[in-house]
Amino acid sequence: MPDKSLKQSDQPLPPTDSVQSGINGAVAGLLGFNLLLLAVITLLILFTAIPTLATDPPTTAVPANLSHIETAPPGITRLANSVTPSPQPSGTPLPTSTVTVVATRISTRTPTPTASATSMTTATTEPILPEPSVIGRSVLGYPLEIYQFGSGPTQRLIVAGIHGGYEANTTQLAWALIKHLSQYPELIPGEVTLYILPVLNPDGLTFSKDADGRANANGVDLNRNWDADWQADWPLDGCWQLSPVTAGNYPGSEPETQALMAFIQSHELDALISYHSAALGIFPGGKPVDPAALHLAGQVAKVSNYPYPPLDTGCTYTGQLIDWAARQGIAALDIELSTHDTIDWQISLDILDAFLTWQSP
């Protein structure tokens, strides 16, 4: 039988130092290659992401905050319905207007998307708002707050939300202007004081965002409640009639009307804008039309494409804020936004500038 034992020379030799060094070098090389590969992949990912980061602007959004009012309080007995809001008259027509009337016509301007207003404050940088003054309370006890910008001798006022939730975009616009002016107070000329009332009808705002949100908690249309050609009943032909409203028991019967009336009478205002929606145009106040309001309307019309003269639906307008203001010597306008959903941000900024720099003839 052959000898199964191995000779000394047949035994495996232990690795020498040079062999061990070669193995260690190979392992190190492999690790280095893996690290290099990982670095290359990381760089590729970064270079792919950088163009997107460089070209995508920060998101901007128009403030949708409707102040501290979020839910409808108890105590309103009016019933909401499913009527879809449509353009309805809310302003004073020019007596001499010869414009062909189409009640359903809207502005041909393409509304500026509210989320793309590049000059707005970004959502991550909220400006510090001035402390508001409370001028009164609504039927349900909500505060009526006015914000002041500037301190010049020329005093002007912007009113929004007179028709509550039915024209909620006017309140949204007012809040956008408040935030914008808080961010850029230098936009107010040194000789001007601007007051903004973001919502005159908080009861309607909290009650409904459709036709049932137009009136206050007493069912009164606040733009029919002023002591200027007030009528308890008015012809409905050509007028807004999507839900039952009244003009109040008498002129100035409502606490919201009384509060704003007292504020206006205690200040020396020379101009006023009351925002509405939707689509009927620019309405100067006064019967007959106040010459100063007519001049202001012309200046506003130059920087917007809202219908002017305004569209005439055949409605008889009674008890309006702007007609009462005209009797106080104030150049007053109703301005209707193009829809019930947009705030026409760029147009609104141009109108703001024209309003602040306007000089009475």
pLDDT digits (tens, 9 = 90+) for 120-153: 444 457 899 999 999 999 999 999 999 999 999 9
pLDDT value at position 70?
Answer: 36
Q: Is the pLDDT of residue 170 over 60?
A: yes
Q: Would you say 330 and 281 are in contact if contact means Cβ atoms under 8 Å apart?
A: no
Using the CB atoms, write b or e for 167-179: b if 16+ within 10 Å.
bbbbbbbbbbbbb
- Name the pairing type of β-strands 154-159 and 192-197: parallel
**Region at 348 (left for phi over 0; alpha for psi -120 to 50; beta for the rest):** alpha
pLDDT given at position 44: 60
pLDDT above 70 covers a percentage of the chain that reads 66
Evaluate if residue 14 carries a pLDDT over 80: no
Q: What six digits make up the tokens of 243?
A: 């839900």
pLDDT tens, position by position, 52-97: 333 333 333 433 444 444 333 333 334 333 333 334 444 434 433 3
pLDDT band at 181 (very low <50, low <70, confident <90, very high): very high
Residue 109: how many CB atoms within 10 A of its CB? 13
Q: With 60 as the cut, is the pLDDT of residue 51 above it?
A: no
Instruction: Tell me the residue ranges of DSSP E strands in 71-189.
Output: 133-137, 143-149, 154-159
Residue 164 has pLDDT above 60, yes or no: yes
Strand intervals (E) in the chain:
133-137, 143-149, 154-159, 192-197, 269-277, 282-284, 331-337
Rounded Cα gap, residues 66 and 48, in angstroms: 41
What does the DSSP 8-state code read for residue 8? Answer: G
Q: What pLDDT is recorded for position 206?
A: 97
Residue whose structure tokens are 């606040």: 222
| pLDDT for residue 216 | 98
- pLDDT for 288-330, tens place per residue? 999 999 999 999 999 999 999 999 999 999 999 999 999 999 9
Q: What is the pLDDT of residue 125?
A: 76
- Count of residues making up the chain: 361
Q: Which residues of 258-286 are buried (b: 16+ CB within 10 A; e: fewer)?
A: ebbbebbeeeebbbbbbbbbbbbbbbbbb
For the chain, domain boundaries: 114-357
Sign of dihedral through CA atoms 210, 216, 219, 225?
Answer: negative
Domain 114-357: assigned CATH number: 3.40.630.10
14: burial class by Cβ within 10 Å (0-12, 13-18, 19+)? exposed
